[in-house]
Every structure is written in C-alpha cells, then in structure tokens.
Structure 1
Amino acid sequence: MRIAFYGSSLLSSYWNGAATYYRGLLRALAAHGHAITFYEPDAFGRQQHRDIEPPDWCRVVVYPATPQGVAQAAAAAAGAEAVVKASGVGYADDALLRAVLDAAPPRALRLFWDVDAPATLAALRAAPDHPGHAALRELDLVLTYGGGDPVVTAYRELGAADCVPVYNALDPTTHHPVPGDARFAADLGFLGNRLPDREARVEEFFLATAEALPARRFLLGGAGWEARGLPANVRHLGHVPTAAHNAFNATPTAVLNINRASMAATGFSPPTRVFEAAGAGACLITDDWPGIAMFLQPGEEVLVARDGRDVAEHLAALHPARAGAIGRAALRRVLAEHTYERRAVLVDLLLRRALAAKAEGVMA
C-alpha cells in the first residue's frame, strides 16, 4: 500500500536516535511491497549531517520547517492509503498531526507511531486539553517502539482504538561484526547524546565508573558533551555517524547502554543501541530495566548493572574470552528473534488487517 510517513529524519541520525529504527523497519516494510514516502523537516542541522543519501526503497521529501512547509507536506497525505505521524518530529508536532489527519482520505488508515511513549503519555496526562486527546479518537491504530503492557493499557485508557508495541530490532545489512578499529580502542565505550532525562544516569553509570577505574580507558561518543567536564581517562569523540557504529561497538572490550530515566522506569523499551551492539557481536553492559530478558538473557547474552558500582565490577572482572562469548551469544539471539524483518511481518499484518476492517466499516 501507499504509505505517507511523517517522522524526524530518515537521512540523518544527528540528534535523532530514531534514525536506525526508521531505516530498519521501513526498508523491511518496503520489501513487503509497500510504497513509502518519508516526510522530514529541514531542522536541527540534520540535512548538513546526513548519514545516508535517499535510499531506493523509500522516497524522501525534505520540507521547510515553516508553517507553509508543514501544510504542503501534510497535504500529500491525501494520496496515501496509510498515513503515519510519528512522535518527536521536532517541528510543529501538534500542528502536523492535525494537518495530516485532516488531509488523509476517509478510507486511509490513520496511525500514530510513538517512539517515546513515556514522554508522550506524560504530556497527555498532564494536559486534559492537549490536542493529542482529540487526535487519539480519530486514529485507527497506535504503534509504539516499546513499553509493553503498561503503555498499551495507558493508550487504550486514553481512548486509542488499539495500541501495539513494535520493538526495536537489528538490520543485519547495516549493523554486523567488523574488525576492530584503533580509533575506538577502549575498555568501555558509551554512545549517546547528552539529554536532560539521561545525564544523571550517564554520570552514575559511565562517568563515575571511569573515575573509579582510573587505569581503564573509556570512550564517549555523542553530541552535547563538549561543555561537560570529563575524567582524564574519558576520550570524547563527538557525534559518531551511523556508518562508524559497527566499529565503535566491535572494538572496545565492552560497550554500555544507558536508558533515559523514563524509559528505564517504563521498561520493555530496548533502544536501538542494544541491537546495534548485539548485531556487531559486542559485549554489552546495560542498565537494569523491566523486560530485558525478552530480548537478551542476563549473564549469558548481556551484563546487567543496577548502578555504577555494578558497571565497575563487571568491567574489572571482564576478560576478553568472556566478553567475546557474551557478544557471540547476543548476536545469535538477535539474528534468530529480533530482526527488523520479523518486526515488518507484524506491521504488514497489522496494516492489512486494519485497512480491510476500515474498508468494511466505510462500505457499511
């Protein structure tokens, strides 16, 4: 079917953690015969920091971050069979959602794809007059990239017709084992932008660990850390483009995942970093959150840390042979159970069922 997808950016991962998720899912969906157009605003310097050029599996339209640009992009929904508005587009999100819903033809599916359900649900609960409440009643389906049963229940209670999690996953064509790269040599690497909802956890799980282990080497990738004072044994790389993520993950003895506080509290929300690391065969240490074992088995396929002290203990005891075994086990698990192709099978089924049901309702 013809899908109009409105998201933050497909072409750039710059200040855009959803890029890998969009790319993996939409590439896999396109292989099921869907014709997808991705609409992204020219905002936040992303077009100047592209990681990929427009792909052959998805048409990309970059529109001006202006009210006129939003209106023109939204008008294109009139030609789609399924219209998807993602959360966190970053420019005029509420106005874009309203415009897209108004432009979509009566027979078209209307979907909201939430890539940050804890933040969206908190905003809706805090404001009874939030425009999202009215929009929920017009949507055919809400998809989320995580959150499990608590998020599904919350969306249904707020009036969504249905909500289905479509978890992050691995695209083995883009994230896979590679030889080590001297640029990324370290005992522990962490890749993540500096965000208010995560900074305190980065200080606890990563920076405090570096201070506790001054003889070890630590590698920090991501934007926003330039003005933050760092321990002497932490090397900061700045933004690391997607093309370098495999080497970043494959080279250090271990890599660290730190969920944002809201995601960790909600649980069942593995970020793309988890699957990028596992796909590269890396030994992953992650902060603790509910639902980890749905994706990787603690102690065998991933190491779990409740705090910075746990991270330091894992790292101090980790020898290369065990790190390699954990990384290989994680790779086997994600290839068997957690690829975007498997997620796309679910989304394809959901779309076809919803479109058929809507067609019956319109005809009736």
Structure 2
Amino acid sequence: MRLVVLGLALSSSWGNGHATTFRALLAAFAARGHEVLFLERDVPWYAEHRDLADPDFCELAYYDSLAALADWRETIAEADAVMVGSYVPDGIAVGAFVQAHARGLTCFYDIDTPVTLAALDRGACDYLSREVLAGYDVYFSFTGGPTLERLEREYGARAARALYCSVDTARYRPLDVPVRWDLTYLGTYSPDRQPTLERLLIEPARARPDLRFAVAGPQYPEDIDWPANVERIAHLPPADHPAFYSASRFALNVTRADMIAAGWSPSVRLFEAGACGTPIISDRWDGIDSLLAPGREIILAEDSADVLAALDRDARAIGTAARAAVLAQHSAEARAAGFEADLARAIAGRQNDKADPADRREVA
C-alpha cells in the first residue's frame, strides 16, 4: 500500500507522545512492504527539538501552512490510504482537504480520543468537527471498548476501530545498567494527571526519604514542591528511554482524567516500560485488565499506601511477565499487522460499494 500520514509530529518527541507512537507503528508497517509518506507541519517548537530528522522507514516532509498542502495534492490523491492524526494544526481544514482530494481510503487516527470527544461535546475541538469526522472512511481510535460504539452511534463515524499504541521491541528492551531509582515516571506535565502523580509518587517520596525517585518530562510548573529525593529530568529523548526504565525498580503509569473515564486507553509508556521488563505500578481504569493481568503482569494502586507496599516487594517476576505479554500482544509488529488488515478490509469494502452501489456492504 501507499500510505500518506498527516500527523502532529514524527521528527520530534518533545512535549508529545505522538512521535513515538507513529514511529513504532509506521516502522513496522513499512517493514511489511508498504510505502509511507509522513507530512508534518513545520512549527518552531518541534523544529528546535528534532530527534529523528531522517527516518529510515518512511519519507518525512514538512509543510509550513495549510496553503502549502496544495503541493501534495496529487500524492494525496494517488495514495491507497491517507490518515490524518489528532492535534494536527488546522486539522479540520486538513481533513476537509484530504477528503476532497483523496481517491483512496481516508482515515483519522485519534491518539487522544476521550479528550477529542470531550472537546467536540463543548464545541471546542480545534482539529476535528463532527462533519469532518463523519467524512472519514475509518476512525482509528487510541481508545477501545464502549467508545468505539459511541463513535459510530453518537458521533457519526462510518467505522470505528481500536488502534492502540504499541512499542518498538527492538529498541525497548532490558539493558544491563545499574539501578538508580526505586520509582520513576516519564511523561509531559498535564494538569489533570498531576493530582495522581502527587498521590502515587510525590507523597510516597515524602514518606520514604530513603528511596530514590525521578520524574522525566517537560513543561512542569516551576512552583511544584518536589521532595529532595525526586530527581527532575526536563526532557528524555526516546533513545534514552530503555536505559531510564532499566535503571528503575518500578515505573509509574499515570492516565489523564478523560481517558480514565472512557477506559480502554493504554498509554504508550505502559508498553514501553513493560517491554523493558520494568515492573509497572498504574492507576486503575476500566479495560486495563484486558491488556495486562493485575497482580501478575502489573500492580494497580489507588493511593500512596498501595505504592509504598509495592516498593517493599521484589517484583522482578511481574516485570518479566509484563515483558512477555507486551512482546506477544502489544509489539509494533502485532499492531501493524492489525492496522494493515483493517485498512485492507476497508479498501475492499469501498471497492465493493463502488462496484455494486445497490448492494452496499458495511466494513467488518
């Protein structure tokens, strides 16, 4: 297939989780014999922090304005499938442009589904409108479970399919490095995640000054009162993630409020830490037990007492079991195979519709 992706970022992982998600998925998809072009809006905050300027698995090109997309009109028209991602600047207009000119399949990949739907309900989504949503052939969603039915029933999606994030298991693997921290968290600051981070990492750090903690990620406010035993790392490039996880006795997973409410919304960090064999402590939400088995492959925590109890354990067996589960079910290779199958079914469905409009078939 020839796939064109218009996504938030591929070149820079600074301040976003989209780049690593796209890198893992598209590298594995290209390895299956497909041709990929990624079109990225050229914005200064990513241009200043590029950590993958020349990917070896796809063509990466930049456009500096909505008008500049006209230079790619024929490429978009000739592609077998075109996929627009969430949070793309001028995403509503980009989606309308794609739907107007693509002759192949048009898709939306929402890496922020609960946030998107909450914004649509408020009439405040900058990158997707209900009209454009209904114009895509397939809505690929970071969130699975009941949200998929809601997308079709309440929001007018033609076909909603789960496309969870995944991990490049060739890059994310256990490394033989000294253990530096007892519990770490990797993630960009988000106001709705901060109370959970306070409860599950900062409070345990205050209670156990003898233990070592770390929080890696940008955009944290200067007025946060970090305990002395919490090391702050402003930005951690993806190349350093495996060493970070491998140097952690436990890794914390914290989920945004909208995603907890929706359930079935695994963070890419969940799979990255698991692939490195690091035992994961996570907040609770519906569907997490369908991804990793609580008590065997992951530890679920409600409060600081749960975290402190976990930190007193030798949980290496949980990390080993998590790695086995991620390799079997949540690798980029597994996700790309499922993505390819969904695209192929949707393309076949469109071709059947065109060949026999009187006998329309819903994409399975």
Deviation of residue 69 (structure 1)? 3.3
Once the 2 structures are TM-superposed, how far is the Cα of residue 181 of structure 1 from its aligned partner? Answer: 4.8
- Between 1:196-205 and 1:22-31, the stretch displaced more is 196-205
Q: Report the CA distance between 1:128 and its aligned residue.
A: 10
Q: Which amino acid aligns with 2:136?
A: L
Aligned pairs for 1:332-351 within 5 A: 332-351=324-343
Unaligned 5+ runs, structure 1: none
Alignment of 1:276 with 2:279, yes or no, is no
Q: Distance in 1 between matches of 2:315 and 2:51?
A: 29
Q: Which residue does 2:67 correspond to in 1?
A: 68
What corresponds to 1:164 in structure 2?
161
CA contact (8 A) 1:226 1:238 kept: no
Q: In the alignment, which of 354, 357, 363 is matched to residue 362 of structure 1?
A: 354
Q: Letter of the aligned partner of 2:76 in structure 1?
A: A
Paired residue for 1:299?
295
1:133/1:275 CA distance change after superposition, 3 Å? same
More displaced stretch, 277-286 vs 300-309:
300-309
Q: Give matches, 1:36-47, under 5 Å.
A: 36-43=36-43, 45-47=45-47
Of residues 323, 330, 346, the one that matches 2:322 is: 330
Which whole-Å CA distance do the structure 1 matches of 2:125 and 2:176 have between them? 53
In the other structure, the counterpart of 2:362 is none
Is residue 234 from structure 1 mapped to residue 233 from structure 2 by the alignment? no
Conserved 8 A contact 2:145-2:263: no
Cross-structure match for 1:14: 14
Could you tell me whether the CA contact under 8 Å between 2:66 and 2:94 is conserved in 1?
no
The structure-2 alpha-carbon separation of the partners of 1:253 and 1:129, relative to structure 1 and needing over 3 Å to count, comes to closer
1:199 corresponds to: 194
Deviation for aligned residue 1:257: 0.7
Which residue identity does 1:101 align to in structure 2?
A: Q
Structure 2 unaligned runs (5+)? 357-364
TM-score by length of 1: 0.91
Deviations 1:70-127 (A, max 9, x none): 55456642231211011122x222222222222212xx10111110110111122223
Q: Distance in 2 between matches of 1:239 and 1:82?
A: 34
CA deviation map 1:4-42 (0-9, x unaligned): 101111121111112221111111111222211011112
CA gap of 1:155–1:212, structure 2 versus 1, over 3 A, is: same
2:107 corresponds in structure 1 to 111
CA distance in 1, matches of 2:187, 2:97: 33
CA shift for structure 1 position 339: 1.3
Q: Which residue number corresponds to residue 189 of structure 1?
A: 184
Identity of aligned residues (%): 36
Deviations 1:251-287 (CA, angstroms, capped at 9, x unpaired) = 1211111111111221111111011101111011111
**CA distance, structure 2, for counterparts of residue 69 and residue 201 of structure 1:** 42
Q: How many angstroms apart in 2 are the aligned matches of 1:51 and 1:161?
A: 36
- How far apart, CA to CA, are the structure 2 residues paired with 1:253 and 1:170? 20
Determine the C-alpha separation between the residues in 2 that align with 1:192 and 1:150.
26
Greater shift, 69-78 or 47-56, is seen at 69-78
Q: Which residue identity does 1:311 align to in structure 2?
A: V
Per-residue Cα deviation, 1:209-243 (whole angstroms, up to 9, x for no partner)? 21222221111100012613311111101100000
2:302 alignment partner AA: R
Matching residue of 2:263: 267
